[in-house]
Amino acid sequence: MDARIFSKDTQALIYNFKANPVQRMLDFDYLCRRDKPSIAALVSPGSPGGHHKAFFGSEEILLPVYGSMERASRENPHADVMINFASFRSAYPSTKEALENVNIRTVVIIAEGVPENEIRELTSLSRKKGKLIIGPATVGGVQAGAFKIGNTAGTVDNIVACKLHRPGSVGFVSKSGGLSNEMYNILARTTDGLYEGIAVGGDAYPGSTLLGHLLRFEGIPEIKMNVVLGELGGRDEYDIVQAIREGKIKKPLVAWVTGTCASIFPSEVQFGHAGAKSGKEAESARAKNRALKEAGVVVPDSFEGFAKSIAGTYQGLVSKGVISPAEDVEPPEVPTDFKAAVKQGKVRRPSGFLSTICDDRGEEPTYAGIPMSEVIEKDYSIGDVISLLWFKRKLPKYATKFIEMCLVIAADHGPCVSGAHNTIVAARAGKDLVSCVASGMLTIGPRFGGAIDGAAHYFRDACDRGLAADEFVEEMKKKGVRIPGIGHRIKSAKNPDRRVELLKDYAKKNFPSTRYLDYALEVEKYTLQKANNLILNVDGCIGVLFVDLMASSEAFSDEEMKSIIDIGYLNGMFVLARSIGLIGHALDQKRLKQPLYRHPWDDVKYAK
């Protein structure tokens, strides 16, 4: 097996991937100024594939996702590392598949609790294939300035503090992932930093050993000294002692075996790792530390002296010229994720939406600043609620009563108008209620219900300009524009629209002024000279009366009135009212359960 398992060009396949480790690897890549990401592809077993969005610095990239390991490797043959986030239940088959894959050289098993018989079989297979397993029960490892596995070394801040964004001169191997992170920090403070660090995993039978990695480090020229953090239980440290005596390990080595406190307990103690179990005296931390020291390893008297021993060994090598301290390199700043930056108060982001009519962030919702409880307790009408939500103010009672009258009067115009017809057809075709009503609502326009705003605009403009009724009508004729709100298909001067009469009577009795209504009626007198059905219809009456309401109530400025008409507030009155009727038509047809009465072709008339 090659001594180097990682480089700045190494790419990995992530099996059963998790989003956070993926992004942390990419952030490390960016810190190290890699040319390309260390992740070639992601494997989500059984999925149809696709892409996963992530960031490489500030650039958003798409990582390919495959449903199988076989396809991911086939389409990314350069990826020679597989990082396995599978659970302990499925770690065995997925790791075995990777070991049998010709492209994969190193497999990292993150899961804890993989059955011993399975990991022993996988380890045997890896040796036959000349491949390497890191784990199980590991966070993985890191080659400083080149490649890191998953969550190794933690956050970006910790990586920079530990100088892992550029290579140092120390090789490190341990069983513990958590203590590895602590050791990277110690190495950054006592030496020029880490070159490569591996956590073999805390299970009793890891896929690779402390000694195996130390032997690899012997073949890496950039590593000038090694540090080992062992633990009680097992015999790994004795294998290191034997290798030193056989001359296989020649580089200076500083080591400490944790768990010396186990000797104070009267019975066997199980520590955090499955393999960290006090048993025979030979497996105790004290015995292992003593054996390492006798073999020539630098071993402190306690963990507290570990950093001092590492620093002393390093400084000795520097003074002899064996180590030329690596220069510190200023890493690029990794952009902060937006959500994290917002949480930390580092950014100000303008809102995508702005609401000035309601607020639901407090104990109760508010409508234009009025609490919901007040709306209920003071018996606000639907007209009051519309005045708050549409016009953002509480209008006089006569005004909100007028709004309610408009809703009642415009709620339905019978089944033959276009909106009702479309709703009925959709209902008979078996569509759901929302689709039926939407079908009818989409017909609202200048020829059906959409004339309220137009009437308000044209009558107000003509009246304010002082045009006589006949001048207004003739001006519109020259422009080729039909006067919105004038004309009816059925009603006429001899058969007036009762709805219009009710609205006019109410306004005359309750509005402070009906200037615009009076002007519209003057226009009606002129248009009736042309045809008996060119009367002021219900849309036109509602439009001009809303202008009268806004002008006479003195609650709106001229600019607000213009904005309300231009935006489409008044047509909204018809939309709200008509939705009531259209829902009724849809429910009525659904109760009748009638199919379409005839084929649509039957209604087509072809021109000759």
Rounded distance between C-alpha atoms, residue 176 and residue 349, angstroms: 42
Rounded distance between C-alpha atoms, residue 529 and residue 45, angstroms: 79
Torsional class of 591: left (φ above 0), alpha (ψ -120 to 50), beta (otherwise): alpha
- The average confidence (pLDDT) of the chain is 91
Tell me if residue 50 falls in helix, strand or coil.
strand
Query: Per-residue pLDDT tens for 459-503?
Result: 999 999 999 999 999 999 999 999 999 999 899 999 999 999 999
Task: Compute the half-sphere exposure of residue 601: CA atoms within 13 Å on the CB side of its CA.
Answer: 0
**How many angstroms separate the most distant Cα atoms in the chain?**
122
* 389 contacts: CB under 8 Å, gap ≥ 6: 357, 358, 367, 368
Q: Which long-range contacts (CB under 8 A, 24 or more apart) does 158-162 make?
A: 158/185, 159/28, 159/31, 160/31, 160/331, 161/185, 161/188, 162/187, 162/188, 162/193, 162/194
pLDDT at 335 over 70: yes
pLDDT of residue 1: 60
Distances (CA, A) of 256 to 247, 253, 305, 309: 20, 10, 10, 10
Rounded distance between C-alpha atoms, residue 512 and residue 277, angstroms: 93
Rounded distance between C-alpha atoms, residue 494 and residue 532, angstroms: 8
For residue 591, give both structure tokens: 């109760």
pLDDT of residue 2: 77
Q: Are 427 and 594 spatial neighbours (Cβ–Cβ below 8 Å)?
A: no
Beta-ladder partners of 148: 142
pLDDT of residue 345: 83
Q: What percent of the chain has pLDDT over 70?
A: 93
Which among 217, 288, 210, 208 is positioned nearest to 251, based on CA atoms?
217
pLDDT of residue 554: 87
Q: Which has more confidence, 300 or 204?
A: 300
Residue ranges covered by each domain of the chain: 12-319, 358-407, 410-592
Q: Give the Cβ contact number of residue 46 at 10 Å.
A: 6
Global pTM value: 0.66
Q: Are 298 and 254 spatial neighbours (Cβ–Cβ below 8 Å)?
A: yes
pLDDT at 606 over 90: no
Q: How far apart are the first and last CA of the chain?
A: 87
Which among 433, 407, 409, 438 is positioned nearest to 422, based on CA atoms?
438
Which among 89, 109, 92 is positioned nearest to 208, based on CA atoms?
109
pLDDT at 603 over 80: no
Alpha helices in 65-198 (DSSP H): 69-75, 91-99, 116-129, 156-161, 177-190
Element (H, E) at 64: strand 59-66
Calculate mean pLDDT across residues 224-250. 94
pLDDT of residue 437: 94
pLDDT of residue 233: 82
Rounded distance between C-alpha atoms, residue 384 and residue 403, angstroms: 9
Any catalytic annotation for residue 273?
A: yes
Query: Per-residue pLDDT tens for 522-581?
Result: 999 999 999 999 999 999 999 999 999 999 988 899 999 999 999 888 888 889 999 999
Question: What letter would DSSP give residue 325?
Answer: P
Query: Per-residue pLDDT tens for 431-469?
Result: 999 999 999 999 887 677 678 999 999 999 999 999 999
346: Cα separation from own chain's centroid: 19
Rounded distance between C-alpha atoms, residue 216 and residue 500, angstroms: 95
Tell me if residue 490 falls in helix, strand or coil.
coil
Query: Per-residue pLDDT tens for 97-138?
Result: 999 999 999 999 999 999 999 999 999 999 999 999 999 999
Residues in the chain: 608
For residue 223, give both structure tokens: 């590593």
**DSSP notation for 222-239:** T--EEEEEEESSSSHHHH
pLDDT at 236 over 70: yes
Beta-ladder partners of 255: 228
Element (H, E) at 106: strand 106-109
Rounded distance between C-alpha atoms, residue 102 and residue 78, angstroms: 11
pLDDT of residue 266: 44
Rounded distance between C-alpha atoms, residue 87 and residue 606, angstroms: 69
pLDDT of residue 270: 44
Which among 65, 59, 136, 44 is positioned nearest to 95, based on CA atoms?
136
Element (H, E) at 375: helix 372-377
Q: Which has more confidence, 277 or 559?
A: 559
Query: Which of 52, 165, 213, 273 does the annotation list as catalytic?
Result: 273
* Site of tokens 């054996």: 291
Weakest mean pLDDT among 134-143, 269-278, 302-311, 533-542: 269-278
Q: What is the 3-state secondary structure (H, E, C) of 199-217?
A: ECCCCCCCCCCHHHHHHHH
pLDDT at 275 over 60: no
pLDDT at 594 over 90: no
pLDDT at 264 over 60: no
Q: Which long-range contacts (CB under 8 A, 24 or more apart) does 279-287 make?
A: 279/233, 282/235, 282/238, 283/232, 283/233, 283/234, 283/235, 284/232, 284/259, 284/260, 285/230, 285/231, 285/232, 285/257, 285/258, 285/259, 285/260, 286/260
Which among 570, 497, 582 is positioned nearest to 538, based on CA atoms?
497
Weakest mean pLDDT among 260-274, 490-504, 577-591: 260-274
Q: Which CATH class is domain 12-319?
A: alpha beta
